[in-house]
């Protein structure tokens, strides 16, 4: 990893924007080759001259940025609009002429915003290169620096088939109950699987599974980045995804206000799951309500459960060497309680059991922040 002085060919404006994204307030990575390369791709020289004056978590007007950059107001307004509504790198608030702009974390935030779209057919070479550079940055493992303490940002819902007739299930465990709190829904492609596909490492599982519900859904539809759907179609999409071995996540709050989002994830592509499997940092994912329990009398250690587990939480090994008796091992620290293993078991030797000390999700974003912001 090189220091700032080791980039003689990179313009100072680009370096200033890279330093902005490296802020811990934005969950940023340290200054590194991968970050600088991504920022160079995201911003033209003229855009970087403007964006360098942004500050983490502080929305700023075009007029204020134009004054800071010493550039004509109309030129700055035009470039900010392109960053916010063509590249989708910045977030904007308010009506035209009174808009405020701010920068998002690279992830979660910029990565998802840039790649939200109705289909993979709409990507351009610019998006392909963005995906390649983002994957390089993700592979540095910088996110692991932030998740040593629980943040519980998302939770995984048990697969519907495995949850049937489960008396300990809360409404918050059932996707249909969560959807009842919202009126507007939109669906688009999974940004994680799209990225893997663009870099030539796709898994072939369904792409159109990423769902937004609530206030943000109409906006994304109006922008042409997602298509509108009803609750029944959302459930159909999610059920079909589960049959393909995908598991559903939801933001870990219960208010039913503003907006929420959900995707159907695989262990090979999902950024949240990979923080656990690649970097051993489970703090981003809330502890599950249910865990699989193994009936040793019935289990034949056939390994079908381990093949479907997206987290590598179930493994079959031989006691006493290669020819020894087979044994199924459950690694609870990797388990997200999705229940795919229960559905896959031909002997019905696996069941979902409620975790004794499980805590229900926060009732809303204020209570979530009160509990986890310090971490």
Whole-angstrom distance, CA of residue 184 vs CA of residue 227: 11
Q: What is the pLDDT of residue 2?
A: 47
Q: What is the pLDDT of residue 265?
A: 93
Residue 53, CA distances (Å) to 49, 82, 107 in order = 8, 17, 21
Q: What is the pLDDT of residue 323?
A: 66
250 phi and psi angles, rounded to 5 deg: -145, 150
| E strand or H helix at 317 | strand 314-319
Three-class DSSP category at 300: coil
Q: What is the pLDDT of residue 14?
A: 95
Q: What is the largest CA-CA distance in the chain?
A: 76
Q: What is the pLDDT of residue 1?
A: 45
CA-based nearest residue to 270, from 247, 291, 289? 247
Tokens of 309: 């587990």
Which parts of the chain have pLDDT scores under 50? Answer: 1-3
Whole-angstrom distance, CA of residue 24 vs CA of residue 30: 9
First to last CA, the chain: 27
Q: What is the pLDDT of residue 367?
A: 86
Q: What is the pLDDT of residue 64?
A: 96
Q: What is the pLDDT of residue 321?
A: 61
Q: For 49-72, what is each residue's pLDDT tens digit?
A: 999 999 998 999 999 999 999 999
Query: Would you call the peptide bond into 12 cis, given omega within 30 degrees of 0 as the criterion?
Result: no
């Amino acid at each position: 990893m090189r220091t700032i002085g080791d980039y003689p060919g990179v313009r100072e404006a680009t370096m200033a924007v890279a330093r902005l994204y490296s802020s811990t307030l934005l969950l940023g990575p340290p200054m590194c080759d991968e970050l600088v390369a991504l920022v160079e791709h995201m911003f033209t020289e003229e855009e970087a001259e403007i964006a360098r004056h942004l500050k983490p978590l502080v929305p700023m007007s075009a007029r204020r940025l134009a004054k800071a950059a010493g550039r004509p107001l109309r030129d700055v307004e035009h470039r900010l609009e392109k960053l916010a509504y063509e590249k989708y790198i910045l977030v904007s608030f308010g009506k035209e002429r009174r808009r405020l702009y701010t920068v998002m974390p690279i992830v979660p935030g910029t990565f998802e915003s840039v790649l939200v779209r109705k289909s993979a057919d709409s990507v351009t070479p610019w998006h392909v290169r963005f995906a390649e550079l983002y994957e390089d940055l993700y592979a540095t493992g910088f996110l692991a620096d932030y998740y040593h303490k629980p943040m519980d940002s998302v939770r995984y819902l048990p697969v519907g088939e495995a949850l049937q007739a489960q008396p300990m299930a809360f409404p918050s465990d059932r996707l249909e109950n969560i959807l009842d709190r919202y009126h507007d829904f939109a669906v688009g492609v999974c940004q994680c699987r799209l990225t893997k596909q663009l870099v030539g490492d796709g898994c072939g599982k369904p792409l159109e599974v990423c769902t937004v519900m609530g206030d943000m859904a109409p906006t994304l539809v109006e922008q042409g980045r997602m298509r509108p759907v009803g609750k029944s179609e959302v459930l159909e999409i999610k059920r079909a995804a589960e049959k393909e071995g995908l598991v559903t996540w939801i933001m870990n709050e219960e208010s039913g206000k503003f907006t929420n989002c959900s995707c159907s994830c695989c262990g090979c592509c999902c950024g949240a799951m990979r923080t656990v499997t690649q970097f051993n940092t489970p703090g981003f994912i809330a502890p599950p309500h249910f865990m699989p329990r193994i009936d040793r009398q019935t289990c034949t250690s056939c390994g079908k459960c381990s093949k479907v587990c997206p987290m590598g939480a179930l493994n079959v090994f031989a006691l006493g060497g290669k020819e020894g008796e087979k044994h199924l091992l459950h690694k609870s620290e990797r388990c997200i309680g999705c229940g795919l293993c229960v559905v896959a078991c031909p002997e019905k030797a696996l069941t979902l059991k409620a975790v004794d000390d499980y805590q229900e999700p926060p009732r809303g974003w204020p209570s979530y922040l009160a509990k986890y912001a310090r971490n």
